Amino acid sequence: MKDQVAIAGAATTGFTTKNSGRTQTSFAAQAAIDVIRRCGLTKDDVDGLCGSWPAAHVLQSALGLSRVTWFGNPVIPLVDHVATAAAAVHAGLCETVLVYHAPYRAAWNTSGSLKDPFRRIATPGLSEPQPGPDTVAAGVGYTAWASRYVYEFDVKREDFGIVALNARANAARNPAAAMREPLSMDDYLAARMIREPLCLYDMDPAVDGGDAFIVTTTERARNLPLPPVLINAAVLGQVSPNEEDQTTSLRANGQQVVIDTLKAKGDFWLDEVDVYFPYDGFTPITLNWIENAGWCAPGEGGAFMRQHWDPAEGRVLINGRIPVNPHGGSLSEGATQGSGHIREAVHQLQGLAGERQVEDAQRALITAGGFFFNAQGLMLHTS
């Protein structure tokens, strides 16, 4: 499949941490129409659909896409959707897939979202009894491993904080980002703890919005208006055991599978990367991706980011040139479950990233997801 399938374009609605008064279908439809038009296509050209929220049949009816021959509803984060759509295209199940994602402030996430009665209805199981606090399942798992990270490497909170500061500085350059006001280390250290050792700024904020992509054959993409972004390698990495509290260690989880596979299957590696996207749903995930990818040694992710901090730019530029999550990441653009990272990579490689544009960007590395069930990798390039 290498380089045989491409992302022909990407679009976003932008994101907000407010209750938008809109549905996920509304956001997905807006981003979808935008990307279909940018790619010079019409609704009749789309014969595949791939997304999680809303379900494919719902979006198909909303957009009036007359016929599709394939659709899928994979689970987040979004490398799964891009990889699955690419495989469907490569296998000939369809030719042109609309990949979409509408992050949403579900009533699980925030007390503020509960104020929207439609959101309460739209959040399944909200009124059911829930397990108590005696677990590190779900989001707490990253905090648990953050405690282990601090224990093993004797790092300070500032190591997590610099991830948040870099994200916020980048978001200031991104009009689509939800959180753009400046964030200082003092702000970070003064923020309230949520799940110690992690505070408010260590977690991505739930947002409303949408991203959409067109995935098709490279051959077809070359005949469309925007420069094709070729899918060089993709992987969903997972190991056993993978439960949050049974996962073997920070150096033996899905991230190692992702890195090993990308290095084996891809055509470039760190020395040739122009822009890097480590997932940042929680700050310790980012540090571990940086370390496991081999940018630096285990436990040195925070020090690495300090070493490559560009004071003039007020953000990390690895070797003075490679930005890290230039869109602001999930921490500051908003919790997009990876769709924002992929969309920004596409825009960077197409030269459409505005004031964030990395000059002559040709190769992007995306390491999405966390440790347990969702470590993913994607390598994109222009030729």
245 binds other proteins (CB under 8 A): yes
Structure-block tokens of residue 219 = 């051959």
Whichever of 58 and 114 has its CB closer to other proteins, that residue is 114
Position among 26, 110, 147, 238 found at the interface with other proteins (CB under 8 A): 147
Host H or E run for residue 15: strand 5-16
- Least separation in angstroms between CB 250 and other proteins: 11
CA distance 116 to 118: 6
Cβ within 8 Å of residue 222, ≥6 positions away? 228
- Least separation in angstroms between CB 133 and other proteins: 4
- Least separation in angstroms between CB 147 and other proteins: 5
User: Which amino acid is present at 339?
Assistant: S
129 binds other proteins (CB under 8 A): yes
Whichever of 240 and 319 has its CB closer to other proteins, that residue is 240
135 binds other proteins (CB under 8 A): yes
Whichever of 240 and 383 has its CB closer to other proteins, that residue is 240
192 binds other proteins (CB under 8 A): yes
Size of the site for other proteins (CB under 8 A): 28
Q: Which residue, among 203, 205, 160, 150, has the nearest Cα to 185 in the 3D structure?
A: 160
154 binds other proteins (CB under 8 A): no
220 binds other proteins (CB under 8 A): no
The angle that helices 24-38 and 56-63 make with each other, rounded to 10 degrees, is 60
CA distance 82 to 114: 31
Whichever of 108 and 309 has its CB closer to other proteins, that residue is 108
Options 52-60, 214-222, 238-246, 317-325: segment touching other proteins (CB under 8 A): 238-246
Whether residue 254 contacts residue 372, with contact meaning beta carbons closer than 8 Å, is answered with yes
Position among 42, 64, 127, 133 found at the interface with other proteins (CB under 8 A): 133
In the 3-class helix/strand/coil scheme, how is 301-355 assigned residue by residue? HHHHHHHCEECCCCEEEECCCEEECCCCHHHHHCCCCCHHHHHHHHHHHCCCCHH
Cβ within 8 Å of residue 139, ≥6 positions away? 195, 203, 282
243 binds other proteins (CB under 8 A): yes
* Other residues' Cβ atoms within 10 Å of the Cβ of residue 360: 8
Chain centroid to CA 192: 25
Residue 102's SS3 state is: coil
CA distance 379 to 346: 11
148 binds other proteins (CB under 8 A): yes
Options 25-33, 62-70, 133-141, 168-176: segment touching other proteins (CB under 8 A): 133-141
CA distance 354 to 25: 27
**The dihedral formed by the CA atoms of 321, 327, 331 and 337, expressed in degrees to the nearest 10:** -120
114 binds other proteins (CB under 8 A): no
110 binds other proteins (CB under 8 A): no
Whichever of 206 and 221 has its CB closer to other proteins, that residue is 206
Q: Based on the number of CB atoms within 10 Å of its own CB, is 41 exposed (0-12), middle (13-18) or buried (19 or more)?
A: buried
- Least separation in angstroms between CB 342 and other proteins: 30
Whichever of 250 and 259 has its CB closer to other proteins, that residue is 250
Position among 127, 134, 271, 320 found at the interface with other proteins (CB under 8 A): 134
CA distance 164 to 155: 16
127 binds other proteins (CB under 8 A): no
Position among 64, 67, 128, 181 found at the interface with other proteins (CB under 8 A): 128
Whichever of 15 and 188 has its CB closer to other proteins, that residue is 188
Position among 127, 130, 319, 383 found at the interface with other proteins (CB under 8 A): 130
Position among 132, 319, 355, 383 found at the interface with other proteins (CB under 8 A): 132
Position among 38, 101, 105, 195 found at the interface with other proteins (CB under 8 A): 195
Q: Which residues bind other proteins (CB under 8 A)?
A: 128-136, 140, 143-145, 147-148, 151, 192-197, 240-241, 243, 245-246, 248
